[in-house]
Homo-oligomer: A and B are copies of this chain.
Amino acid sequence: MTRLKNDNFLRALKRQPVDRQPIWIMRQAGRYLPEYRETRAKAGSFLALCKTPELACEVTLQPLARFDLDAAIVFSDILTVPDAMGLELYFAENEGPRFMRSLKNEADIRQLSVPDPEVELRYVMDTIRLIQHELKGRLPLIGFAGSPWTVACYMLEGGSSKKQFDNIRRMAYENPPLLTHLLEILTQATIHYLNAQIQSGVDAVMLFDTWGGLLSPTQYEAFSLRYMQKITEACGTTPTIIFTKNAGLNLAGIAESGCSGVGVDWTMPLDLAKTITQGKVAIQGNLDPLALFAPEITLHHDIEQILKTMKNYPGFIFNLGHGILPNTPPEKVAYLVDTVHGC
């Protein structure tokens, strides 16, 4: 870690003292930045951008040039893994992610196999190597993957869901062994994928469990947390963050899963998150992304509230409670970062 000029993010994740309050922003390389929109136009599509290491590296670095952030995160998507498994990801205009081939029956699921990350996902590894070359040890780089449950949600639905991913939730009741088989394969794929990212140079990894909160607590443990725990264990000494949206009181189980830190969304007060996790993990969160549309005085108040609540907590990473929205004013992001750093 001594190789990094600013390792505050990693130190917070390990619950060690920091020089200043670290902050990064989920989806910090994204559509709210005009320079991102330009690069994306050049790439032709979101997926082409993910799959072109030079351009993916370029957009990864863009927010770092604008804002004094404490971490970079690889520009990619949680659905690269099923794409690599042959489902063929694409993004229909204003429609969110879709697969050319979704999982329609048991045979579709049984024939899935674990992709080789250095072959089918080679473009992600090349992106990481490029970013590390450009970063030159300035900042830590975060790699990531979707949780097996969340990725399976999309695979069984064929893409985004208008409802609440009823296909997978139905399978959880109708055919739990088949769902377990799918989750096991995705767990193996994710372990290989994240370890390849670690080999390629990421300093920490994050699991995005966007849809774990759709489950009852019993099913959450059985179908989501269980597999994230296996992945966390398989990441060895690399620090890990688990972010389940709408985790609620499932945060207690997450904090005991062996991860280094937990992501907290804006519906969970941070004082409660502290109580529930009992000082076992670093905490990352949780400003409402919509707060960046408020007048500065309101935004300032909300930032201060979070900093006050987490003051002297060993291991706090400032972030939004969910990804930044496409139409967020970039100057509000600058204001946020500077306020958190106490400028």
Contact = CB atoms under 8 A, between A and B. Distances in A.
Contacts of A135: none
A267 B217 contact: yes
Contacts of A217: 267, 269
A174 interface: yes
A211 to B, nearest CB: 12
A216 B288 contact: yes
Interface residues of A, number: 32
Nearest to A291: B173
A301 B214 CA distance: 20
A294 B172 CA distance: 8
Given A96-B162, A246-B246, A293 B170 contact: yes
Interface string A189-219: 0000000000000000000000001111101
A169 B289 CA distance: 10
A279 to B, nearest CB: 20
Contacts of A266: 216
A41 interface: no
Nearest to A172: B290
A208 B92 CA distance: 33
B294 A174 contact: yes
Interface in A137-179: 160, 162, 166, 169-170, 172-174
A267 B216 contact: yes
A308 to B, nearest CB: 14
A293 B168 CA distance: 12
Contacts of A298: 173
Interface in A41-94: 94
B325 A166 contact: yes
8 contacts: A160-B162, A173-B288, A173-B290, A215-B267, A217-B267, A217-B269, A246-B246, A248-B248
